[in-house]
Structure 1
């Protein structure tokens, strides 16, 4: 390079990127460099780097807090899923098994509306608002065919035809729902007045585990 040629800012920046230890050799230079901030003021490079590290530390702390909160919530759900399985195993009648499931849905998911819709009627539960019955081939279940068929849960705002079947006159009070098919038996739903309580894409692992436990418990009475 011609010694008379002047280096531009881009060349200096490129050189520094490839020689990151340069300022360690000249600490006085590192202290005198001025770094612009968004508010227009300038700070020393050391102060600027310290502030960047603080920002990164705050972000890491936030992420750790979120991970810890998620871990705690998952632990609570795991305990509740286990407790539900034990409760279902302890029941000796179909009606008591359904009652135990409905109670768990109300307590563990904190929904405003709980619905258990079964293909087979349970006479002891007639008149309970949360219990619904429809024959498996009934046209009433037409809105739920896809959900029942693929066995996958739905979460979020349900379509009006589903809302009407599940919640009846209270449909307008439900802004989001968690809908779980119960293999061979029907489905369960938890509705909330909070539109953000259940949302598309939310994790449903523990809900699916509860649904499987309920289906297995009901299987005991299939022949009766």
Structure 2
């Protein structure tokens, strides 16, 4: 008989072990971590111990993720409260930069808005942006995370541009239309990487869009 046939027979006939209870105690098998042999009962205990260690590792990982999410949620709440209290364009910019730098440890933040209201001075945030980048922002279903290579957004970071290895680009929308973009830069290649979760980046974009649309109205 093939080993698969034996395994299938034992699965289909669990009474075999009741009928041959003495056989179970006499069968020995190789130790999974050494050269000696052990009983089936010992092998089962070792298997359960390994599974328990695996489950403990997964539980520790879940707890760590939970703690990290709680921390980020608290930071997002502080940012949201500060944004609500901001009454001017400059106040919103200051709050955004302060919280992202000090609370989220994001060293480089840049922002561009497509249209400058008449009552607002000419600021870097209203500098010209290529039509290509505006179309790219319009098509973003979620924030872009990855390399800075090939993006004009690198120039938004000034002298730090040559040192950046990753970025996140977040489209800002108001009433369905795209009004601008937030760029977050980092010297770490894995700070913003392709495939990372973007839920909090999306919320950041929504909060910034609402606050800016309110003060620029």
TM-score of Structure 1 vs Structure 2, range by shorter chain: 0.7 to 0.9
Distance (Å, rounded) in 2 between the aligned partners of 1:151 and 1:103: 27
Counterparts of 1:100-119 in structure 2, within 5 Å, are 100-119=95-114
Asked whether the 8 Å contact 1:148–1:187 carries over to 2, the reply is: no
Once the two structures are overlaid, the 10-residue window that deviates more, 68-77 or 94-103, is: 68-77
Q: Find out whether 1:192 has 2:156 as its counterpart.
A: no
Q: Find out whether 1:161 has 2:166 as its counterpart.
A: no
* Residue matched to 1:19: 13
Counterparts of 1:78-93 in structure 2, within 5 Å, are 78-93=73-88
Q: Out of 173, 179, 202, which is 2:163 matched to? A: 173
* Residue matched to 2:214: 220
Give CA deviations for 1:116-173 in whole Å, capped at 9, x if unaligned.
Answer: 223338649x5xxxx64324xx43x634531244352111213333353233432231
Asked whether the 8 Å contact 1:173–1:193 carries over to 2, the reply is: yes
RMSD: 2.6
Distance 1:25 1:204, change over 3 A: same
SS in 2 for 1:200: coil
Once the two structures are overlaid, the 10-residue window that deviates more, 97-106 or 115-124, is: 115-124
Distance 1:188 1:46, change over 3 A: same
Distance 1:162 1:35, change over 3 A: farther
* Residue matched to 1:46: 41
Question: Cα offset for 1:9?
Answer: 5.5
Q: Aligned pairs, how many?
A: 208
Once the two structures are overlaid, the 10-residue window that deviates more, 144-153 or 65-74, is: 144-153
Distance (Å, rounded) in 2 between the aligned partners of 1:61 and 1:185: 47
* Residue matched to 1:145: 135
